[in-house]
Structure 1
C-alpha cells in the first residue's frame, strides 16, 4: 500500500494508525503476517527469456518507475538516475544514460522520446534511439508516476493535484489543470493515459477526469469512489492505479471505493462494484481483474460487473496489480513470486519466483512477453509455456 501523504495530515494519520494498532486484539495481531504459500500443481510455466540489473527502486518514497516500451525498445530507469534501453526480444543493451539525479516517476515513452521525472518535479526527455537529453521542464509539484506521451504532448500528474501538459517536441508548457485534494491521500498517484485525443486521469479525491490533450479543456468528470465514515483515514479514496482503456470503455478502481466501467465518450457509468485497491485493474478474456488491498484477487464480468470468482489465498502478501498475459492472470507479491491464475476459475496454475524482493511496479505485457521489475532493480522478460 502507498504511504499516507500530505504534510498537514501526516501526524494525524500516524497517530490514528498507532491508536488502531494499540486497540487490536491478540487474535487480530496474529493475522497481520502474510499467509504462507501452499503447494500447487502447475500446468503452465513462466520461463525467463532475458534479465538485467538496472539498479534499485526507492520503495520507501514510493517511486513508480514502470518500464516503457516503444519501437521495439524497452526503456527502464532506477531511482539513482540510471536510464537504459534494451532490445525488447533479446535484452541486448542499446544505450545507457546516467542522469545523476534521484528519479521518482517514469518511464513515459512515445513520439520518439522517453520521459522521466525526479523528486523535485523536474521532467527530462531523452531521445529514444540514443538516450541523449532533449529537454527538461520544472513542474511545481512532486511526480511519482509515469508521464503519458501521445497526441503531441507529455502529461505529468503531480502529488499536489495538478495535471500539466507539455509540448512533446520542446517541453514548453501548453496547459495545466488543478484539483482540490482531501486532507489525507495515499502516497502514490495514478499515471495518466492518453487515448483518442483525451487525457484520462485518476485523482486522489476518488474522481476520474478526461481532458482534451491539446489544450487541457475538461471533457467529463466522474466520481469512482464516495468517501465514507467520519475519520479522515476512513475517507481516503485515492485512485492510484492508471485507468485502463479498452475500445470505447474505461475501467478504473479506487482505494476504499469501487471498481467501475465508464464510456470513454462522456464518462457515462456502465457499472460499479464495491472494491479497494492500490493498483490498476487488468482486462481480458471477458473479465476485469483486480488485486484487492487485503490480498484477495477478484474477477468481474466485463459487461455487467458481476463477480465471477475470488481467490483469497494470497492475503497480506502485498500483491502487485494483475496482468492479463497469454490467456492467464499474473500477480506479483512481496517476496518476488509471480502467481499464475486461471482466468475462468481463479485457481492457481503456476508460480515462479523471479527475485527475492517485492514486485510492486506494474507489469508490462507486450505480445508473447511479460516484463517484470522488482524493487531491487531486477528486470526480467518472461514467456509462458504450457505443460
Structure 2
C-alpha cells in the first residue's frame, strides 16, 4: 500500500545518476536534478521546505547541469548536500535556512566528523571544510585524475577508494597521505561500508575486500 508520493520535473538533460534519500525518522531529505534539496515529512510526504544547493549556469544544457547525485548528510542540526558543477551547501534541517555555501563540483557524496566535512571533487581533489562555516581546512591533490569516491571517516583517518582500484588513507587534520593499498585494479564505485574491524568495499570486477586502518 502506497502511503504517499512526491514527484518533481527534471531538466531535459541530467546526469545518469540519482541521489539516495536520507531518512532521519520524522523527515526524509532528497536531492534532485537542477540543484534542489527537499525536506519531506515521513508521515504524509508533504514538503517541509525546499532549498537551492546550486543554480544552473552557462549557456548550453551541458554547462547548466547542476544535479545533486549523492545522499544528503546530516551534521548536527544541519543538513548538507553537494551538486555537480555547482556548490556544497548546508541548511538548517528544521527550517531550510542556508547556513553557508561555497563553490564545489562533486557526484560522490559527503562525510563528516565533529569538525570537518569531507568531499572529493570532480577533478580528483579531496577537501576538508569547516562544519561551521565551510572554510577550507585542507585540500589534497594527491588523487587528481584517479576519480576518488566518497570519503569515509574511520577514527582520525579518511579513507578514499578510487577509479583505479586503490584505497588511500589521509590524516583528518592535515590531509597528508599516510597509507594506501591495492585491490584488483578495477574501479571502486560503491561507497566503502564500515564494519566492526574496519571497512568492506567491492570493485567493479567483483572483488570484495575487508580492510582495516592501522
Matches within 5 A, 1:106-255: 172-255=1-84
CA distance in 2, matches of 1:326, 1:368: 12
Counterpart residue number, 1:362: 191
The count of aligned residue pairs is 214
Task: Give the number of the structure whose residues are more often helix, by fraction.
Answer: 1
- After TM superposition, the score normalised by the length of structure 2 is 0.96
CA contact (8 A) 1:285 1:343 kept: no
Cα deviation 1:132-185 (Å, max 9, x = unaligned): xxxxxxxxxxxxxxxxxxxxxxxxxxxxxxxxxxxxxxxx21111111111111
Asked whether 1:318 is paired with 2:151, we answer: no
Contact 1:298 1:310 (8 Å CA) reproduced: yes
Residue in structure 2 matching 1:308, options 102, 124, 137: 137
1:361-385: per-residue Cα shift (whole Å, max 9, x none)?
Answer: 1122245421212112222222221
RMSD: 1.2
SS of residue in 2 equivalent to 1:178: coil
Quick one: structure 1 residues 227 and 247, their matched pair in 2 at CA, closer, same or farther if it must change by over 3 Å?
Answer: same
TM-score by length of 1: 0.54
Cα drift, residue 315 of structure 1: 1.2
1:262 and 1:268 in contact (8 A); partners too: yes
Larger Rg: 1
Gaps of 5+ in 2: none
Q: Which has the higher contact order (CA 8 A, sep 6+)?
A: 1
CA displacement at 1:252 relative to structure 2: 0.9
Matches within 5 A, 1:82-121: none
Gaps of 5+ in 1: 1-171
**1:219 deviation in Å?**
0.6
